[in-house]
């Protein structure tokens, strides 16, 4: 790991934390988001960049969303870096069904990012509540462009986290792919277990 680089610690309980924050007033949502939680840095020490585009769904994306191939998608690309560092903490791409997001035109505008409350709050503005999130993590070598942007050696593995958000109606409403440098990322998974029913003894 490059000396002095900010590490990122991503925990699965972040999703409940994000969902709960979607219900808070805007001034509270603006104080901190998922990036601040993952890095431990205040917002003023983070720099955000965002690009939005419209793309047709390829076969794999269409299958995952359960929509026809060629469906118009909103693709959002995010990069967050610690102030003073040259490499971002991660490379994130997120897809939403375009017509669904367009129900609130504000969701189509990159200048509204970083959105207070993140995707859970964005979706709440169009009547969508996230019910479950599925994370799939794989490891591979970085693509040449990824190695250059993340400033990692080509032989250093990256973690690829694919997040699928499913709403209370069982629809896939967002898919995000996060490429994380293997030398400065920690992923922590917490599973809460329901207690056994009480039995008379």
Average pLDDT over residues 93-113: 97
Token pair, residue 168, equals 């209370």
Taking the C-alpha atoms of residue 84 and residue 47, their distance in angstroms, rounded to an integer, is: 9
The answer, yes or no, to whether residue 109 has pLDDT greater than 90, is yes
Domain that holds residue 57: 8-188
Residue 197 covered by a domain: no
Q: Domain for residue 42, yes or no?
A: yes
Q: What's residue 22's pLDDT?
A: 92
Residue 201: pLDDT band by 50, 70, 90 thresholds? low
How far apart are the C-alpha atoms of 82 and 86, rounded to whole Å?
A: 8
Q: Is the pLDDT of residue 148 over 90?
A: yes
At 60, which CATH number?
3.40.1410.10
Report pLDDT for 5.
72
Domain count across the chain: 1
Beta strand segments in the chain, E: 8-11, 46-56, 72-82, 90-97, 130-140, 158-167, 172-181, 185-188
Q: What is the pLDDT of residue 2?
A: 47
Residue 142 lies in a domain: yes
């Amino acid at each position: 790991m490059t000396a002095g680089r900010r590490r990122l610690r991503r925990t699965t309980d972040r999703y409940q934390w994000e969902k709960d924050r979607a219900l808070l007033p805007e001034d509270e949502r603006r104080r901190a988001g998922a990036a601040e939680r993952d890095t431990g840095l205040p917002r003023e020490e983070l720099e955000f960049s965002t690009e939005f585009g419209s793309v047709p769904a390829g076969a794999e994306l269409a299958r995952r969303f359960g929509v026809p191939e060629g469906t118009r998608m909103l693709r959002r690309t995010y990069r967050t870096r610690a102030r003073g560092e040259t490499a971002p903490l991660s490379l994130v791409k997120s897809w939403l069904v375009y017509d669904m997001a367009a129900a609130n035109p504000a969701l189509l505008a990159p200048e509204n990012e970083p959105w207070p409350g993140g995707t859970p709050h964005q979706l709440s503005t169009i009547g969508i509540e996230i019910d479950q999130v599925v994370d799939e993590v794989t490891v591979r070598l970085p693509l040449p462009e990824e190695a250059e942007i993340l400033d990692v050696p080509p032989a250093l593995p990256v973690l690829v986290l694919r997040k699928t958000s499913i709403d209370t109606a069982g629809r896939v409403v967002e898919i995000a792919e996060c490429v994380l440098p293997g030398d400065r990322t920690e992923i922590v998974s917490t599973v809460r277990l329901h207690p056994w029913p009480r039995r008379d003894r």
